[in-house]
């Protein structure tokens, strides 16, 4: 069952006391606990609900073409943005982790925070329906939507265009190292352009490491 602290947290999150407590416990439970059910199924659902809410929001609020809207959508529903929202809420202290996962920093992992944030959206959809979940997401994502998230070109696209504009070969990405347990993995990726140079970055996912490596390359050579 939920602790008093987690119950209060979820009440503030959803705007009402949680019903169907086992479902909300599931949304907060990481596989490292060995529990029969963890957050993955609800994460799958919440990811789709979040995407629909943000896509509808962008369609109503912005006038860009499909490419521009897709760029913002991808940034706003990314794991990094989900984790940033979750961290701002103090979600980490309510996630149910096995001892090793907690000792390894799982409560502050972008991967886990982002996944659990989506699972909570899924739990809200199941228990409260789409409209109430839409209101919740819009409240939680208001700062990201109002800010510059996704406004600028994605670093990998920017680097590719830079290479083409300077008549260079296309960027090549390679995985340098993968370290840490599965629930707190770290990926180091290098990106290089022949005749120019190479840059490395480390992040909690291969995709994010590639993005950061592209940013670092542009900072150094662009």
Residue-by-residue DSSP string for 151-175: TSPPHHHHHHHHHHHTT-PPPEEEE
Q: How far apart are CA 120 and CA 96, in angstroms?
A: 13
Query: How does pLDDT run across 146-179, given as a tens digit for each residue?
Result: 886 666 677 888 898 888 888 899 999 999 999 9
pLDDT at 210 over 90: yes
What is the pTM assigned to this prediction? 0.75
So what CATH class is 4-146? mainly alpha
Annotated catalytic residue, options 26, 38, 47, 210: 47
Domain boundaries, the chain: 4-146, 155-221
- Residue 133 — very low, low, confident or very high, per pLDDT cuts 50/70/90? very high
Nearest to 217 by CA among 186, 164, 167, 172: 172
| Catalytic-residue membership of 47 | yes
Query: How does pLDDT run across 188-203, given as a tens digit for each residue?
Result: 999 999 999 999 999 9
What kind of fold does domain 155-221 have according to CATH?
Double Stranded RNA Binding Domain (3.30.160)
The partner residues of 178 in beta bridges, in order of sequence, read 187
Q: How far apart are CA 219 and CA 189, in angstroms?
A: 16
Pairing mode of beta strands 197-203, 172-179 = unpaired
Query: How does pLDDT run across 20-69, given as a tens digit for each residue?
Result: 999 999 999 999 999 999 999 999 999 999 999 999 999 999 888 888 88
Mean pLDDT, the chain, as a whole number?
92
Question: How high is the pLDDT of residue 91?
Answer: 97
Annotated catalytic residue, options 110, 118, 208, 210: 118
Mean pLDDT of 115-141: 97
Mean pLDDT of 107-119: 94
Measured at the CA of 176, the angle between CA 170 and CA 181, to 5 degrees, comes to 135
| Catalytic-residue membership of 210 | no
Please report, for residues 159, 175, 214, the alpha-carbon distance to residue 191 in angstroms, rounded to integers and kept in the order given.
10, 9, 7
């Amino acid at each position: 069952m939920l602790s008093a602290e987690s119950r209060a947290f979820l009440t503030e999150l959803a705007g009402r006391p949680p019903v169907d407590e086992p479902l909300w416990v599931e949304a907060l439970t990481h596989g490292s606990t060995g529990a029969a059910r963890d957050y993955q199924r609800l994460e799958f659902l919440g990811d789709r609900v979040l995407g629909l809410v943000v896509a509808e929001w962008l369609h109503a609020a912005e006038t860009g073409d499909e490419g521009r809207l897709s760029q913002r959508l991808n940034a706003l529903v990314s794991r990094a943005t989900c984790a940033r929202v979750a961290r701002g809420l103090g979600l980490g202290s309510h996630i149910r982790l096995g001892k090793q996962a907690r000792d390894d920093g799982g409560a502050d992992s972008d991967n886990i925070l982002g996944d659990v944030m989506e699972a909570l959206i899924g739990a809200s959809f199941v228990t409260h329906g789409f409209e109430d979940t839409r209101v919740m997401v819009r409240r939680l994502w208001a700062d990201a939507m109002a800010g510059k998230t996704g406004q600028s070109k994605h670093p990998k696209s920017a680097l590719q265009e830079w290479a083409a504009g300077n008549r260079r070969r296309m960027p090549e990405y390679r995985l340098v190292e993968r370290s840490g347990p599965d629930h707190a993995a770290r990926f180091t990726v290098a990106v290089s352009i022949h005749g120019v140079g190479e840059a490395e970055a480390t992040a909690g996912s291969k995709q994010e490491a590639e993005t950061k490596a592209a940013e670092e390359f542009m900072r150094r050579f662009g």
